[in-house]
Each structure stands twice: as C-alpha cells, then as structure tokens.
Amino acid sequence: MPLIAVPSEFDHLPAHGQLRGLRPDQIRALRLLQPFTERMEEPEPARTIAREMAHLAAGLEALSTWEFFHREFPLFTAWASEADPRPELPDGVCIEETEVDPAGPIYTSKRLAKFTLDKNSAEASFAGDPHVSFDVILNTEPWPDSPDDNFADRSNWLVVITRQLIDGLERSVSDPYRTDLLRALDEDLPEERVETWLPVMFSSLAEEGDARAAIADSDRHLAAYLNGDGTLVYMRLTENGDVIGREIAPARDLLGANQDGPAVEEATRAAAGSWGLPDLVLQPKVFSKGSGIRELGDGTILAGPRGISLQVKARGVTGDTPERATKWMLKNAAHGLRQARGTIRTALLNPAVELTNLRGRTVVIRGSSVAWIPVVVVDHPDAPPTGVIPASDNKGPSIVMTRRDWEFLWDQLRSATAVVDYIHRVADEEDPLELGAESNRYFDLAEKDAQAPPDAMPGWISETGALNANLPRLPYDPAASADRFGHAIFQGILEDIANTDFTGEETDRITLLSYIDRVAVGARAELGRLLLRWLTECAEAAPDGHRMRHRIMYIDQGSFQLTFSTMSQLTDYHQEMYRSWLLLRRQGFLDKSGTLGPIYPWTVGILLTPRPDGARPWDTTAISTNGPPAYDAAEYARLMKAFNPNL
C-alpha cells in the first residue's frame, strides 16, 4: 500500500502501472487513507487518519535507514511533555526567570527548563519536581500534540483504520451488497408510463359538442384551444370515442424577475441547458468594439455538425393592444434574424471561435465546418395575438418561434441534438409559420414520422446481424414519459461524462457528448432500464468471475458506431479487456462498411460497471476513436478467437 504526501503523486500511480488489479472504488478507498500533507490541518477525522498514516510512513522509512541497521538510531524513544517545574528553593534563593522548553523526544539528552537565578543567589543549588510525563513513541514525526498522543493511542488508531479498510474492501466484493443496491433501484423505481393525454372534463354538453366538432373538422383529428392562463390544450378522441387532451404549458415564469431582455435571454438558454445538455449550450460572448461593448448573439447551441445561432427578443412592458403587439413581434422577428445572421457571418463561420458553455468551460468551435441556422425566440408578456406570421426570409432557412414553443420542444425531446435536427428540418419550409403554432407543426411531423416506412439500411449492416429499430425521429409523447427513471439513467450517463475531470480539449468532450446524444430519444428510456438490469446481472458475478453484456448500434445509416456495455468489474486488467473488445468490434465495423480512410468514422464505447462503495450505483467509462484499424490481420484473427463467443 503506498503512503504518499502529495495528492497528484498518488493520482499518477494507476497511469504508471501501479495499483494494478484494483478497481476504481478500491483505489478511492486507498486514497482516503493517504497521509497528504494538506490533510494535516483539516478537521477530524481526516486529520487523525492523515497524521496516523504519516506517522506509520515515517516509521517504515526509518526502518530502512543506514542508521537504524547500524543501531545508531533508536526506532522507539520516550516523549517528554512540556514540564511544569516546581522547584524547592532554600531560604534566600530567588529565581529571576523561568524558561520552559517545549515537549520533545529524549533519545538524546534534552533540557526541560532553564532557570535564571537572582544575582544574589548565583552560587546556590536546589532540588525540585520537574513535573513532566514520559510516553513511549515512534522516534519519527509527526510528533505528539498532547500527553495522550502516544504510541499506544496511535497504534490503536492504526488498528481501527485497518479494520475499516478491510471491512470496506470485503464489502466491495460482497455480491449481496452490490446486487441489492442495483436491484432496489429497479424495484423501487419501476418502469411506469406517465400519461400525458388525460380525459377532458367539460362544463357542459354544448362545450363537449363544440370540441368534438372541432376534432372532426381537423385533418389530423386534433383540435386545440387556448386557456385564459396561456395554456394550449390539444384534444383528440380515443378508440372508445372519449375526448382526451394534452396541455402545453405557457413559458415558465421568471420567478419575479422583470420580463426584460437579459432575464428572458437567460431563461431561454437555461431551458436548453436543463432539458438538454449545458455543455452544448454556449453563452454569448461580450467584446469591445470601438468605444462601446458588443455581445455576440444571445446564445449558440452546437450538436455535432449542426448548430443554431440564437437571438431572443423580449417585450418588457404590458398592456399592448393586439395591433401594437403584432407590430412589435413582426419588427423584432425581422431584427433578430438580421442579428443572428450577422453573428453567423462575422463570428460563427470562422475556423475557430472561443465560447463558454453553461458549465463555465471554454470551448473552441470550428464553426466553418458547422451548418448554422438562425433562430429567433420572441417573448411578449401578454398572450400573443393569433394570426401573426413573420415575413419570409429571403436570406435562407430560419426559424422564429415564441418562448412557449421553444420550451415545448426542449421538454418534448430532452436532447440538444434532437432539437437542433428538428430546427434544421423545418427551417427549409418555404412559408413562415404562424407564431405560437410550432407545437402544431411538431405534431403534424410526428404523425408523418409514425406512418413513414423504415429507412432502408446499407447492406453491410444487415450482414452484422443488427436489427433495424424503426423509431420515429419525433415521438408523439414526451421523450421521458415511457419510463422516467430509465430515461434518467441515460441522461445520467451523459452527465457522468460531462462532470468527469478531463485534461484534454473541451471541444473533444462535447464532440463525444454530441455522438452519444444522437441516440433516438424514443429509445433512451428502454436502453437505460436495460443497462440497469444488465448491471444487476454483472454484479451477481463471483469476485473471481467475469461477466459482460453489450448493445451495439449503428447510428445515422451506419455513419458511426455506438456501443453500450456492462461489465462485472473495472480493474486495469478489465479495462484492457474492454478496450480490446471495442477495438475488435470497431475493426469489424470498418471492414464490413468498406471504409478505407484516410478519414474514418467514429466508434464510441460506453461502459458501466457496478460501484460497490455506496457513493453511487455504478461507474461510467467512455472510450472513443476515429483512428485506423488497430490490428493487423494475424493479431485480429488471434484476438477474435480469444474473445469468441463473447463478441
């Protein structure tokens, strides 16, 4: 077991081949017991653990010294506490000054105190009680800080620390502990669909009749009306003929903030960051221009090769007439599009532009390789009038929508990639859409997606034995409604990667996140629940056994390979095994797809392993590469044979 005083030195051990065979949770346990110098000043119990372990480390080091082996250095000695001398002075003898020495070891002679006698007592001598205690100690630092801090006390603490370490390591390989933790999550948070279409209660038969007539007159058999509080309600009939409805909430309240531009801009970005990924939402950049200050857009959202340049226009006053509100919305929609296009032209199309995402991390955007769409979000404090249609944009594809519709898209899809893809899809439509009707357009496209035939797969994909999962790009129900916890597991994987300490370029991290975020939103809940159950199976494997489960996906017509795996343990040996498995599957992918380079598609591998230390249920590991094949033909054949049938 290493005993190290500097945290960075300990953290470098695994990368240099040390601590081999230990899982991350076991390495974390050892890290908690390290005598880091910085812990010596922390409150208990960290200070106690660090001090006792530092004492042990110093004692072990002393055992190896030349002086110890040649008996010039005693390993044990006595510790003299600070004395409280009580001299017995003869008559006429006076002490002018007493200087007490600090506590210390006495393996060499040690002075306890110094007395300065009055000049008239210079030749006198006297006796007395030094009033000092002596305790056995290891003859090394850190020295005791109280009379009770001695070898017996520290030995007792070392036994306690060792017992706790052993208990923790035994618990970390205990099957019931690991499996019970994961099984409890599956059982306590069961797969349960959240219904978003609920029975509609009418105040009168006439009201119900009007609703049924509106549904019958609709091409999609879907009627809509707006409540007085700004809630948009869609209604349709069930197979039994009952009227059910779904509410689309108004834009979120700004919690007492003024309905001014900065507050609405922040809320618009926050909606994308909270329902999507804060890593892919980039804040506006402020820079000086001439004698003033200029802001680079109101936000940028990046999802792989596609992005949007965001402008937000908010009306800070209320009481507009419908005519005045219409005029304001049309004017600001046009103004916002010009600004968004200006941001794309002057900044986002540069080969490299530096922005900060909602996690506060700096990201370098290679904007010249990204397809950009300008998007304007308009927000009026009063209910916007109906029939407001922005002017056609002769500069190219663009979108103007209300903040309610913006939040609807993010709540519905819960994915930056899915929202950006949707915006690029509808931005090409020739006629501008009425403001406030984005959810109408969404449901139209969702209906078409549900009825569309499956896309034809490239022939090589069918040769791999893969199944074509025909999921609509736009689910009719919200992405998380099928199984909220299953969906949360998938989102948790993204958050794990986003929150992990990473020494590389932040651009590489958001590239990796963008690829994982391309999983169809309708498939995420099922995948998350499946991974949880696989983790439970892996946790049941014996400590000396091994279990792996995999799901391999070919996304976007096989343009890249994405794998999700679970494994029973995560030592460096198991990591190497997983890395070899992933590179083998990648090489098969490159061979079957006929990729010759020099530009290769990406392979992204996500590995989950049970984490038995109780801090969280599992660890997440990600590996990605767009490099050439890793093995020559002979090595590839040898490894394929070794991994068979676990491929």
Model confidence pLDDT, tens digit, residues 135-165? 999 888 888 888 888 899 989 999 999 998 8
Nearest 5°: the CA angle 77, 78, 80 is: 145
pLDDT attached to residue 292: 62
The rounded distance, in Å, linking the Cα atoms of 247 and 226 is 10
Task: Indicate the angle between helix axes 438-451 and 403-413, nearest 10 degrees.
Answer: 30
Q: Which of 58, 21, 22 is nearest to 37 (CA)?
A: 58
Question: 């030592």: which residue's tokens?
Answer: 571
The full length of the chain comes to: 647
Q: Which of 487, 484, 488, 513 is nearest to 500 (CA)?
A: 513
pLDDT attached to residue 571: 86
- Domains along the chain with CATH numbers: 7-76+145-172 (no CATH), 82-131 (no CATH), 198-248 (no CATH), 261-436 (3.40.91), 484-643 (no CATH)
Model confidence pLDDT, tens digit, residues 23-78? 887 888 889 899 999 998 888 888 888 989 998 988 888 888 877 776 777 888 99
The rounded distance, in Å, linking the Cα atoms of 578 and 6 is 31
pTM greater than the 0.95 cutoff = no
Rounded to whole angstroms, what are the CA distances from 196 to 191, 200, 203, 529?
16, 12, 21, 21
Distance of CA 476 to the CA centre of its chain: 28
What order do you get walking across the sheet with 198-199 strand by strand? Answer: 198-199, 243-248, 232-237, 223-226
Rounded to whole angstroms, what are the CA distances from 399 to 336, 346, 396, 422, 599?
10, 20, 10, 11, 33
pLDDT attached to residue 488: 95
The rounded distance, in Å, linking the Cα atoms of 570 and 141 is 37
pLDDT attached to residue 173: 66
> Which parts of the chain register pLDDT below 70?
70, 172-177, 255-259, 287-293, 383-384, 614, 645-647
Three-class DSSP category at 300: strand
pLDDT attached to residue 175: 62
Range list of H helices, 191-347: 205-217, 261-275, 322-343
Task: Indicate the angle between helix axes 46-63 and 151-172, nearest 10 degrees.
Answer: 110
Residue-wise DSSP of 172-220: HT-HHHHHHHHHHHHHHS-------SEEPPPSSHHHHHHHHHHHHHSTT
